[in-house]
Structure 1
Amino acid sequence: MSISVHNYAGTEEKSKAFHYSQAVKVGNIVKTSGQGGWDDSGDVVPDLKKQVELAFLNVEKALKAVDPSLSWKSVYAVRSFHISLDESADYVIENFRKFTPDRRPVFTCVEIRKLGIEGMQVEIEVEALIES
């Protein structure tokens, strides 16, 4: 079984600086790194609601970097990390309903003290299946 690593446009600098990839494909399974609320230039936006929305969009970009057919419809497991769960949980649930209206992936949600990039308030990582 082979392993391939993938990044999407705008994440190459962070990938090199921190020595990691946005997604990895192992067989027909794809796992993403934690995706945050950064814009196309890689800057974390200050607004929490927008951060959550961008994190969901960045998950999709990471999936599509592996296989253009992948999307949130392929996701079966989600882990989210929050600086303040009380402030961000509703936004995450709102985006779950928007991005996975017909599917309910398994979900682990954790509140932590700090995330890896300054200003980031939410980070989302997923596992997805490439169906043959």
Structure 2
Amino acid sequence: MSSLLYTIDPPGPNGQASETYHYSQSVTLPSGIIKVSGQGGWDSSHSFPSDMKSQIDLAFANVDRVLQSHGLRGWEDVYLWRSYAVGMDEAMQYLVPKIRERVPAHRPVWTALSVPRLGLEEMLIEIEVEAFAPPKRE
């Protein structure tokens, strides 16, 4: 891998997924952009609740966890997000109020995709984000 890229795999369920499936949870580009792999609605034991709302709550929290491992605030630093849902009608009923609640002060760009299935059979939602980490002042 390029020495200009910096990956982070935070401990806990995010890191467990990285180890199991051989991918990184996030990468920082030289421009200060942080790309976060799709975060599913898994809990601390890497289990999935059976309902969409709970999985969305957990996916949002998992995004926060990865961004905070980079020293960011979390969703406040997100400028772009993509959601992938099995059952978009149900997901939209909760995704819209959730993003409004989470970042009321700005509107990140968003692409919402309906898919027949995600990486794991239990997954109903997956959220991928990009955020900006301003350069640190010395």
TM-score for both structures, normalised by structure 2 = 0.89
Matched, 1:39 2:43: yes
Partner of 1:108: 111
Partner of 2:70: 66
The alpha-carbon deviation at position 44 of structure 1 amounts to: 1.2
Matched, 1:88 2:91: yes
The alpha-carbon deviation at position 58 of structure 1 amounts to: 0.6
Residue type of the partner of 2:132?
A: L
Give the secondary-structure state (helix, strand or coil) at the position aligned to 2:40: coil
Give the secondary-structure state (helix, strand or coil) at the position aligned to 1:33: strand
CA RMSD of aligned residues (A): 1.2
Partner of 1:19: 22
Q: Is the 8 A contact 1:70 1:130 kept in 2?
A: no
Residue type of the partner of 2:44?
A: D
1:117 to 102, 110, 120: 120
| Superimposed CA distance per residue, residues 50-75 of structure 1 (whole angstroms, 9 cap, x where no aligned partner) | 100111111010111222x3311110
Q: Is the 8 A contact 2:15 2:25 kept in 1?
A: no
Partner of 1:8: 10
Partner of 1:99: 102
Runs of 4+ in 1 over 3 A off after TM superposition: none
The alpha-carbon deviation at position 9 of structure 1 amounts to: 2.2
- Distance in 2 between the 1:87 and 1:33 partners? 23
The alpha-carbon deviation at position 114 of structure 1 amounts to: 0.5
Partner of 1:126: 129
Residue type of the partner of 2:41?
A: G
Q: Is the 8 A contact 1:78 1:105 kept in 2?
A: yes
**28-37 or 39-48, which moves further after superposition?**
39-48
The alpha-carbon deviation at position 117 of structure 1 amounts to: 1.6
Residue type of the partner of 2:10?
A: Y
- Distance in 1 between the 2:7 and 2:58 partners? 22
**24-33 or 11-20, which moves further after superposition?**
11-20
TM-score for both structures, normalised by structure 1 = 0.93
Aligned residues: 131
Give the secondary-structure state (helix, strand or coil) at the position aligned to 1:34: strand
- List alignment gaps of at least 5 residues for structure 1: none
